């Protein structure tokens, strides 16, 4: 086992796949010689050459569109969109093309590709380096959407994504790249070194797509979350002393509803927590499904804690970000709510 | 059937990487004054050579020569020099603030100062720029309050944008400065649309679009060109080719097989390639293109050839992807130095006055930064209520509720 940050784990996944499968290619803006603005592809061009790992023009629509063409030929592109906030020019290619190639050609053509992109806030990036657009992808039939929260899962899931025969949107919470983050910006930054989830095998392994991870066992309530918010939830639980079960979805679609439902049936109370805006966010889908599955077990209304329905502000970042204090308060309210 | 050998895949590479000697041998620098200057109403078909030549006015002896030299008012030249110098002092001071942890982020335009300043001084009040993050000179040369720029960068109590925007993404409608988007290329087509509106309304205002070499790859660049071609609106489309887009050299945007200016030719749009480090060339070519727009002769594209001397931003380390000495080897020199030498040579400026001015501007920026810091640094003083304002004109009920939830 090696100790890896999430950046190193992601790089290692691509390294392993470039080595195992000649059809894997990696490209995106600044991804080649430089190795990516977050260094996720550092060294890969040197190792595999510029026909396997290369820079692309600044054209997200072209990055995804070219990836689809390559996938149609039979390659397995793993492309990077520099920030999830810049994925919108590629949205048409993702929604109208990648997601539907298989359906409209009755399986003659498929888009076996992975679209990696850093998401989420917490780095003072303002509205164009902080967004969490996952719900724009979970709303689209034909796509799989993944948001890992640890180095171990990031590598295992990225390998699964690259090996998957359908298009996968792989959103990487950039605030977790170098260490777990509990939502207290005033405390010293933590690193992955020494964290159990920072232990990452160097060779090939997979974490299955569509399986949630139990972060913490508990009896009083269930917190359903993913990405950076997993650590915020842990902080809120330890700060309030409420014995909540925490579920890290890891894959948003296909959703592991069984794991969620089993937990909510046990605890009777449920909080959904995400950093993305609330209205029509992925929490809305979660809330609907949990209600469908667990209505008779619920002792209180399901509560959603999310980013506000505004663009991500720069200076007011920590008032926007659903930190442990807000989560803790809502958790306490949830425990006090009577059915 | 003929036999073919296996195809190979081309990935362009810059001439040198770190560790190598800077190499601009493939970069052709024609003599100043050698490129012709057609009348503004000439047939675009007869100007195609201007997209591959390089218009230059200031020669090695700092003289303004050739058909593009024209006559520029002395006051304008001095104002241009001072504005470029203030822009550079401003950038340096802001870098200091960032290093001191007083702001999260900054972007300099070092080496590119002539372009924004030279063009803005040819525009009229009411015209609208659609800038990128590297055109701070547009504001500075109009004497926009420096303190307001710094307050935006500090995201403080006096920030005109209420702490919402990343540092340097200014907005200043009264100064003909459209709100900068963090998303590349999106605004190029806005400039075209704004100019179309001016024509629809029978106005006399014009628009200018701004984009970097790297960002010309975005679809919106091509959207702008096709709309500009079809409707012939009064717009000047600027491409600032500073050779780099973060770590990608301009060949990754397609700049090594054809000039960026040439892209406009396929759309029938007149296009000029210009020495962007030559203030006089910048100003005169801008005037020419603006005159075309104003006389309803349609759009013009201009490729400004320059070099990004600074790192891409405070988050970037260019020594990882280009030789450290590359900017010093850049054949078009430094825009401030070149205009300074020209003015000295004409007896309008001196080394002494230059030194004094430098000291004066450094002091101006130091004091103004101090003043701005009184309103807070690094987001201090930005109001939490402002998170919810301006999402809509009238706040819908769900947002009022969320605001109450936050308790502000
Ligand atoms: C749509 C979009 N994609 C990617 C980025 C990230 N990004 C910011 S600046 C930049 C390079 C732009 O280079 P260029 O257009 O040459 O302008 P320069 O920075 O050289 O002035 C990139 C890739 C972005 N801001 N927006
Ligand atoms: Mg550039």
ipTM: 0.97
B316-351 in b/e burial notation, b at 16+ Cβ within 10 A? bebeebbbeebbeebebbbbbebbbbbbeeeeebee
Residue B326 placed within a domain = no
Identify the CA nearest to A13 among candidates A211, A222, A157.
A157
Among partner residues B166, B183, B384, which is closest to A86 by beta-carbon distance? Answer: B183
Residue B95 placed within a domain = yes
Identify the CA nearest to B301 among candidates B216, B218, B199, B217.
B216
One domain for residues B338 and B408: no
Instruction: Give chain A positions within 8 Å (CB) of B246.
Output: 29-30, 34, 37
pLDDT at position A155 is 98
Residue B11 placed within a domain = no
Using the predicted structure, report yes or no on whether residue B173 has a pLDDT greater than 70.
yes
Q: How far is CA B241 from CA A12, A240, B115, B249, B252, in A?
A: 35, 55, 11, 10, 12
Q: How far apart are CA B138 and CA B144, in angstroms?
A: 9
pLDDT at position A338 is 74
pLDDT at position A1 is 84
| CATH label, A2-200, candidates 3.30.70.660, 3.40.50.300, 3.40.920.10, 3.40.50.970 | 3.40.50.970
Residue B168, phi then psi, degrees to nearest 5:
75, -5
Other Cβ atoms less than 10 A from the Cβ of B190: the count is: 18
Q: Cβ A314–B155 below 8 Å, yes or no?
A: yes
Prior bond of A254 cis (ω within 30°): yes
Mean pLDDT calculated for residue range B342-355: 98
Number of domains chain B contains: 2
One domain for residues B205 and B338: yes
Q: How far apart are CA B233 and CA B199, in angstroms?
A: 6
Q: Is the CB–ligand 1 distance for residue B147 below 6 Å?
A: no
- pLDDT by residue (tens digit) across B13-50? 999 999 999 999 999 999 999 999 999 999 999 999 99
One domain for residues B261 and B305: yes
Helix/strand/coil for A305? strand
Say if CB B31 and CB B55 are below 8 A apart.
no
One domain for residues B345 and B398: no
Residue B37 placed within a domain = no
- pLDDT by residue (tens digit) across B151-165? 999 999 999 999 999
Greater model confidence, A256 or B381: A256
Burial-class residue A69 by CB neighbours within 10 Å (0-12, 13-18, 19+).
middle
- pLDDT by residue (tens digit) across B79-97? 999 999 999 999 999 999 9
B251-285 in b/e burial notation, b at 16+ Cβ within 10 A? bbbbbeeebbbbbbbebbbbbbbbbbbbbbbbbbb
What's B32-61 look like in SS3? CCCCCCCCCCCCHHHHHHHHCCCECCECCC
Among partner residues B246, B254, B387, which is closest to A57 by beta-carbon distance? Answer: B254
Q: Is the CB–ligand 1 distance for residue B212 below 6 Å?
A: yes
Q: Cβ A308–B387 below 8 Å, yes or no?
A: yes
Q: How far apart are CA B55 and CA B76, in angstroms?
A: 20
Mean pLDDT calculated for residue range B141-147: 98
One domain for residues B397 and B252: no
One domain for residues B180 and B262: yes
For A213-336, CATH gives 3.40.50.920
One domain for residues B144 and B192: yes
Other Cβ atoms less than 10 A from the Cβ of A125: the count is: 24
A204 is catalytic: no
Residue B13 placed within a domain = no
Burial-class residue A330 by CB neighbours within 10 Å (0-12, 13-18, 19+).
buried
Residue B21 placed within a domain = no
Say if CB B234 and CB B195 are below 8 A apart.
yes
Q: How far apart are CA A246 and CA A223, in angstroms?
A: 5
- pLDDT by residue (tens digit) across B209-261? 999 999 999 999 999 999 999 999 999 999 999 999 999 999 999 999 999 99
Helix/strand/coil for A85? helix
Which of A82, A128, A174 to mutate for ligand 1's pocket (most ligand atoms within 8 Å of CB)?
A82
Q: How far is CA B376 from CA A167, B93, B150, B388, in A?
A: 46, 16, 11, 21
Residue labelled with tokens 């700049």: B255
The residue whose C-alpha atom lies closest to atom 11 belonging to ligand 1 is B245
Mean pLDDT calculated for residue range B302-330: 97
Joined together, the tokens standing for residue B398 give: 């769900």
Size of interface A-B (CB pairs under 8 A): 131
Say if CB A309 and CB B402 are below 8 A apart.
yes
Identify the CA nearest to B127 among candidates B212, B224, B230, B235.
B235
One domain for residues B186 and B49: yes
Joined together, the tokens standing for residue B172 give: 């200043």
Would the CA dihedral through A36, A38, A43, A47 be positive or negative? negative
- Per domain, the residue ranges of chain A are 2-200, 213-336
Using the predicted structure, report yes or no on whether residue B74 has a pLDDT greater than 90.
yes
Q: Which residues contact A34 (CB under 8 A, 6 or more apart)?
A: A42, A55, B246, B247, B248, B320, B321
Say if CB B76 and CB B123 are below 8 A apart.
no
Using the predicted structure, report yes or no on whether residue B1 has a pLDDT greater than 90.
no
Q: Is the CB–ligand 1 distance for residue B166 below 6 Å?
A: no
Residue B27 placed within a domain = no
- pLDDT by residue (tens digit) across B290-299? 999 999 999 9
Q: Is the CB–ligand 1 distance for residue B342 below 6 Å?
A: no
Q: How far is CA A57 from CA A277, B1, B191, B245, B368, in A?
A: 31, 36, 23, 9, 39
- Output the domain CATH number for residue B303: 3.40.50.970
Would the CA dihedral through B152, B162, B175, B202 be positive or negative? positive
Q: Cβ A313–B408 below 8 Å, yes or no?
A: no
Would the CA dihedral through A130, A135, A137, A143 be positive or negative? positive
Identify the CA nearest to B279 among candidates B10, B62, B67, B27.
B62
Identify the CA nearest to B108 among candidates B127, B122, B89.
B89
One domain for residues B255 and B295: yes
Q: Cβ B181–A128 below 8 Å, yes or no?
A: yes
Taking the centre of ligand 2 as the mean of its atom positions, its distance from the CA of residue B116, in whole angstroms, is: 14
Question: Would you say the CATH fold of A213-336 matches that of A2-200?
Answer: yes
Q: Cβ B218–A89 below 8 Å, yes or no?
A: yes
Q: Is the CB–ligand 1 distance for residue B102 below 6 Å?
A: no
How distant is the Cα of A32 from the closest Cα of chain B, in angstroms?
9
Instruction: Give 10-residue mean pLDDT values along chain A (339 residues).
Output: 96 98 98 98 98 98 98 98 98 98 98 98 95 98 98 98 98 98 96 95 98 98 98 98 98 98 98 98 98 98 98 97 98 89
One domain for residues B252 and B273: yes
Confidence of residue B2 (pLDDT cuts 50, 70, 90): confident
What's chain B look like in SS3? CCCCCCCCCCCCCCCCCCCCCCCCCCCCCCCCCCCCCCCCCCCHHHHHHHHCCCECCECCCCCECCCCCCCCCHHHHHHHHHHHHHHHHHHHHHHHHHHCCCCCCCCCCCCCHHHHHHHHCCCCCCCEEECCCCCHHHHHCCCCCHHHHHHHHHCCCCCCCCCCCCCCCCCEHHHCECCCCCCCCHHHHHHHHHHHHHHHCCCCCCEEEEEECHHHHCHHHHHHHHHHHHHCCCEEEEEEECCEECCEEHHHHCCCCCCCHHHHHHHCCCEEEEECCCHHHHHHHHHHHHHHHHCCCCCEEEEEECCCCCCCCCCCCHHHCCCCCHHHHCCCCCHHHHHHHHHHHCCCCCHHHHHHHHHHHHHHHHHHHHHHHCCCCCCCCCCHHHHCCCCCCCCCHHHHHHHHHHCC
Which of B20, B189, B248 should be substituted to probe chain A, the one whose Cβ sees the most A Cβ atoms within 10 Å? Answer: B248
Residue B283 placed within a domain = yes
How distant is the Cα of A208 from the closest Cα of chain B, in angstroms?
34
Among partner residues B165, B219, B384, which is closest to A59 by beta-carbon distance? Answer: B219
Which residues form the domain of B404?
383-408
Among partner residues B9, B247, B383, which is closest to A34 by beta-carbon distance? Answer: B247
Q: How far apart are CA A74 and CA A68, in angstroms?
A: 10
Identify the CA nearest to A155 among candidates A298, A2, A1, A12.
A12
One domain for residues B156 and B289: yes
The residue whose C-alpha atom lies closest to atom 6 belonging to ligand 1 is A82
Q: Is the CB–ligand 1 distance for residue B242 below 6 Å?
A: yes
One domain for residues B308 and B389: no
Residue of A nearest to B389 (CA): A310
How distant is the Cα of B104 from the closest Cα of chain A, in angstroms?
7
């Amino acid at each position: 086992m090696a100790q890896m940050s999430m950046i190193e784990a992601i790089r290692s996944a691509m390294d392993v796949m470039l080595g195992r499968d000649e059809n894997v290619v990696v490209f995106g803006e600044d991804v080649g010689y430089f190795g990516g603005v977050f260094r996720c592809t550092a060294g890969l061009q040197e190792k595999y050459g510029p026909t396997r790992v290369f820079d692309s023009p600044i054209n997200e629509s072209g990055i995804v569109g070219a990836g689809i063409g390559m996938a149609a030929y039979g390659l397995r592109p793993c492309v990077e969109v520099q920030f999830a906030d810049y994925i919108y020019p590629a949205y048409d290619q993702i929604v109208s093309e990648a997601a539907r190639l298989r359906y409209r050609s009755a399986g003659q053509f498929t888009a076996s590709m992975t679209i990696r992109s850093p998401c989420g806030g917490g780095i003072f990036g303002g509205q164009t380096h902080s967004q969490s657009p996952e719900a724009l992808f979970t709303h689209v039939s034909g796509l799989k959407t993944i948001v890992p929260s640890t180095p171990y899962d990031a590598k295992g899931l990225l390998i699964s994504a690259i090996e998957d025969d359908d298009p996968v949107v792989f959103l990487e919470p950039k605030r977790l790249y170098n260490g777990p983050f509990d939502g207290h910006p005033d405390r010293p930054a933590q690193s992955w070194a020494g964290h159990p989830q920072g232990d990452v095998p160097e060779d090939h392994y997979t974490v299955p797509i569509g399986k949630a991870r139990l972060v913490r066992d508990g009896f009083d309530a269930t917190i359903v979350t993913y990405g950076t918010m997993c650590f915020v939830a842990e902080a809120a639980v330890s700060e309030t002393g409420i014995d909540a079960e925490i579920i890290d979805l890891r894959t948003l679609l296909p959703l592991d509803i069984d794991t969620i439902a089993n937990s909510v049936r046990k605890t009777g109370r449920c909080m959904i927590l995400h950093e993305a805006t609330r209205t029509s966010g992925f929490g809305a889908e979660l809330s609907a499904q949990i209600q469908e599955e667990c209505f008779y077990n619920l002792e209180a209304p399901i509560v959603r804690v999310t980013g506000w329905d505004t663009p991500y502000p720069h200076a007011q970042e920590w008032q926007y970000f659903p930190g442990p204090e807000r989560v803790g308060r809502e958790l306490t309210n949830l425990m006090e709510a009577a059915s | 059937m003929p036999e073919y050998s296996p195809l190979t895949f081309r990935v362009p590479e810059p001439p040198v990487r770190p560790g190598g000697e800077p190499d601009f041998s493939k970069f052709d620098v024609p003599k100043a004054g050698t490129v012709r200057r057609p009348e503004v109403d000439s047939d675009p078909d007869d100007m195609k050579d201007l997209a591959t030549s390089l218009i230059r006015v200031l020669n090695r002896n700092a003289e303004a020569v050739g058909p593009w030299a024209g006559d520029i008012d002395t006051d304008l030249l001095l104002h241009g020099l001072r504005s470029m110098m203030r822009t550079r002092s401003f950038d340096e001071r802001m870098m200091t603030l960032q290093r001191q942890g007083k702001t999260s982020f900054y972007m300099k335009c070092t080496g590119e100062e002539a372009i924004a300043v030279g063009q803005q001084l040819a525009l009229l009040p009411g015209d609208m720029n659609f800038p990128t993050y590297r055109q701070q000179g547009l504001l500075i040369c109009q004497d926009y309050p420096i303190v307001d720029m710094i307050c935006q960068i500090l995201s403080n109590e006096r920030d005109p944008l209420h702490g919402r925007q990343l540092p340097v993404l200014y907005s200043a409608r009264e100064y003909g400065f459209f709100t900068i988007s963090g998303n590349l290329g999106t605004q190029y087509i806005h400039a075209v649309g704004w100019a179309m509106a001016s024509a629809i309304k029978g106005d006399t205002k014009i628009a200018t679009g701004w984009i970097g070499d790297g960002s010309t790859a975005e679809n919106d660049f091509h959207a702008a060109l096709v709309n500009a071609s079809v409707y012939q609106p009064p717009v000047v489309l600027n491409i600032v080719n500073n050779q780099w887009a973060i770590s990608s050299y301009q060949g990754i945007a397609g700049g090594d097989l054809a000039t960026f200016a040439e892209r406009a030719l396929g759309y029938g749009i007149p296009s000029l390639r210009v020495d962007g480090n030559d203030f006089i060339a910048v100003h005169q070519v801008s005037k020419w293109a603006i005159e075309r727009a104003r006389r309803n002769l349609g759009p013009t594209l201009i490729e400004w050839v320059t070099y990004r001397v600074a790192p891409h931003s405070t988050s970037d380390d260019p020594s990882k992807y280009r030789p450290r000495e590359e900017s010093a080897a850049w054949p078009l020199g430094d825009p401030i130095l070149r205009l300074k030498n020209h003015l000295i040579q004409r007896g309008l400026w001196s080394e002494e006055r230059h030194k004094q001015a430098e000291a004066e501007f450094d002091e101006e920026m130091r004091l103004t930064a101090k003043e701005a810091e009184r309103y807070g640094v690094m987001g201090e003083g930005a109001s939490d209520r402002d998170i919810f304002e301006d999402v809509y004109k009238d706040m819908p009920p769900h947002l009022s509720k969320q605001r109450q939830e936050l308790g502000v």
